[in-house]
Amino acid sequence: APPRRPRPGTLYTEADQGVPRELGVGLPATACQFCAECSLAGGGGSLTTAPEGAPPLALHNATHSSAWTPLGITVFNRRAGLPNCTTCTGCSHHLEQLGGRLTFDRVDLPNRYTGALMPDYTLLASQPQLPGAEEAEPKIARLLCVDLHRNGQWARHECTPTDRAARQHRQMVALARLVDECGLAHVVPRHTVANITVLLPQSGYVQSREALLSDRAKGIPLQLLQGSWHWPAYQLQDIWRRIPSEHVVQAAIFDLLVGHCDRHPDNVFVTDDGRMTLIDNDQIQGNIPGCLYESFFLPRCTKHEILINGFGWATQRHFQKNVLPDVRPSPLAFFDYRCHAAGGAVGTAFPGALPTCLAKLGGKDGLRNALDLGFSRRHAEHLAARAALLVEQGLEGAIASLAEARPAADRIPLQPACCAVNSQGFCATEFRPDLGNGTLREPTQRSLLYHYGAVALFGGALASGFAYFAIYRPVRGLADGATERAQASGSCATCGKGLAKYRCPRCTTRSCSLECVKAHKQQSGCSGKRDRTAFLGRAQLDERSLLSDLRFLEEVQLADEVAKRAAPARPAMLLPRGLQTLLQQAKRRGVELHLLPMGMAARKTNTTRYNPKQGIMEWRLEWKFQSAPNFKPVNA
């Protein structure tokens, strides 16, 4: 019989095939496959443990690689021949999972980021504190190509950590030199490479290799802050104004210079005192084919378009179709660099040390200077070309040139900047985003809170189509809503003679008499009824308009219920079995039988039925005689 497929969490014993018999105690960590605890080198007896993986042979999230071989499954475990140790020595760092709680403005928030990328690990690394020495800040450690994945399975494909790590470590160290050269160390964390010997949390799997260490970003991610209910949108922007505008502009220039392809609000951290840190800086141009830049600091890219018109609209060419743009921009649109540059543009007036840095990289020796920083030739050529583009055309010119270099189907129009939102979530200034083909969205001022509240109130009874209409009503009203057409003179618009006394609720046409009102309706086809779906300006919002909206929703709900009751009878296959049989037997006898709706009195009292034993229909007949009105019907 084939061996049973092992599962994560299996407790191994000495009888298990392929498991090393030796349980090492006090061996160096590099001589062990798994270890429950490890003494830290130079740590004065400090221990690093794998508490979630103890005891050592339980292997909380792992199965032994040799158990897969009889099943014809090839896995890669470079340490399979080493013993599992109870205690080992010589570890350099203690690793912990990312997560826990984050605090911002004295408010605790959950940390959603766990570094759960496979086959790579991103963990918090700390070293022992020596007597008399200052406590060192924990670092973020990234381990590439670990053959034991977080889900407890071994790698199915070989991943050579030395080759891949060497390339990425070289790139990140070169990027750290670039950050120092351009004076951006206050925005981008420093990266170093070090040899470490550690135990992976949860399993105790030993790793001895090169790792990328970086300073831990302080604060919380922008996306977590924006998604919290603790701060309304307009208050968030007051908090974000603590960040120096120069830092936002520098972040935008950095992303364009290196061609960052994944700058979203989750990899930008902010602190209470206004410090901003950019993390996950390995996704630069050259690593993602076809990417020029994707940063929400910069317009004319998908990451920025999502903040302006919503995710569905910005990604519809790839994922969704026939979606409507959001009527309110994200508060994160505040981080558009144009909101922080003097006059809304940077040009070639780069802040800080960037002018000297860009001139050095964009000059005739730019490629050599980029290679001297440690970049590969491919990345160095890109860096020199971007620096030259920024020096020659300025930031705005570089954005325009790169936008035109995209395929025609992927070009994104230049959207206006929304640098502040009001208490209702709308842009505080006139805001007309480009919806493509030169179509501008009309300025949106009417609050959606009324409609959201009404939909929540009647959500249980509203049909899906009406709910769609209620939520997106202001978008439609922008294009074809009625506008105020107040007449300059006070004369009747129909006859032009009398003094106007009446105003048409539908089109605001003024009339002097009943005859002129009727003539106006006949000539223009106007119904004379107020358009309750017309767009209202912010100054016109009051309690009366709210009550009108609520009454309108009630009427639509009533109409929906009436339509449901008046719907045709259900097909026979949806009726109860007894009624299906009754209809079939009546049809066989040449009788077209119609059923009244459920709840009707005649339906309740009708006792017509089919008798299957005798094969006959038993009809209920009611005789009513006009000459005997008091005669009661009898069964026949």
| pLDDT given at position 77 | 65
| Closest to 161 in 3D by CA, of 191, 202, 120 | 120
| 221, β-bridge pairs | 269
The secondary structure of 21-43 as a DSSP string is S-EEEEEEGGG-SEEEEEEETTS
Report pLDDT for 151.
63
Count of alpha carbons within 13 angstroms of residue 581, beta-carbon side: 12
pLDDT tens, 304-348? 999 998 887 787 655 455 567 777 888 899 999 999 999 999 999
Report the 10 Å Cβ neighbour count for 195: 9
% of the chain residues with pLDDT over 70: 72
Residue 574: pLDDT band (50, 70, 90) is low
According to the model, what pLDDT value does residue 627 have? Answer: 75
pTM, whole model, 2 decimals? 0.64
Kindly tell me if the per-residue pLDDT of 22 is higher than 70.
no
pLDDT tens profile 397-426: 999 999 999 888 888 999 999 998 887 778
Please state the separation of Cα 467 from the chain's center in Å.
23
* Range with the poorest average pLDDT among 353-362, 379-388, 410-419, 616-625: 616-625
* 369 pLDDT more than 50: yes
Is the pLDDT assigned to residue 537 strictly greater than 90? no
Q: What is the pLDDT of residue 355?
A: 96
Q: Residue 423 in 3-state DSSP?
A: coil
* Mean predicted confidence (pLDDT) in 146-159: 68
What is d(CA 61, CA 150) in angstroms, rounded to the nearest whole number? 7
Q: Mind spelling out the 3-state secondary structure of 210-240?
A: EEEEEECCCCEEHHHHHCCCCCCHHHHHHHH
pLDDT tens digits for range 475-492: 333 233 322 333 444 678
| Residue 441 and residue 435 in contact, taking contact as beta carbons nearer than 8 Å | yes
Mean pLDDT comparison of 107-116, 377-386, 470-479, highest-scoring range = 377-386
* Helix (H) / strand (E) containing 282: none
Burial 341-359 (b: 16+ CB within 10 A, else e): beeeebeeebbbebeebbe
Confidence (pLDDT) at 402: 94
φ, ψ dihedrals at 397, nearest 5°: -65, -40
55 preceded by a cis bond (ω within 30 of 0): yes
What pLDDT shows up at residue 563? 79
Residue 473 pLDDT greater than 50, yes or no: no
Whole-number Å distance between alpha carbons of 305 and 411: 11
Q: Which residue has the higher pLDDT, 434 or 355?
A: 355
Q: In this predicted structure, which of 303-317, 567-581, 615-629 has the lowest mean pLDDT?
A: 567-581
For 351, 391, 402, the CA distances from 292, given in Å and listed in that order, are 23, 18, 7
Q: Over the chain, what is the mean pLDDT?
A: 76
Place 441 in a pLDDT band, splitting at 50, 70 and 90: low
d(CA 609, CA 583): 10
Write the CATH number of the domain with boundaries 220-410: 1.10.1070
Q: What local confidence, expressed as pLDDT, does residue 358 receive?
A: 97
- Please determine, for residue 380, whether its predicted confidence score (pLDDT) is greater than 90: yes
What does the DSSP 8-state code read for residue 86? E
The position carrying tokens 């045709």 is: 568
> What is the separation of C-alpha 349 from the centre of its chain, rounded to a whole number of angstroms?
34
| Residue keyed to tokens 């997106």 | 472
Whole-angstrom distance, CA of residue 492 vs CA of residue 489: 9
Is the distance from CB of 136 to CB of 148 less than 8 angstroms?
Answer: no
For residues 61 and 551, which has the higher predicted lDDT (pLDDT)?
551
d(C-alpha 4, C-alpha 67), whole Å: 9
Bond into 119 cis (ω within 30) = yes
What are the residue boundaries of the structural domains of the chain, listed by start? 23-170+186-215, 220-410, 449-565, 572-618
- 195-242 residue pLDDT tens: 999 988 877 888 888 899 999 888 889 988 887 767 777 778 888 899
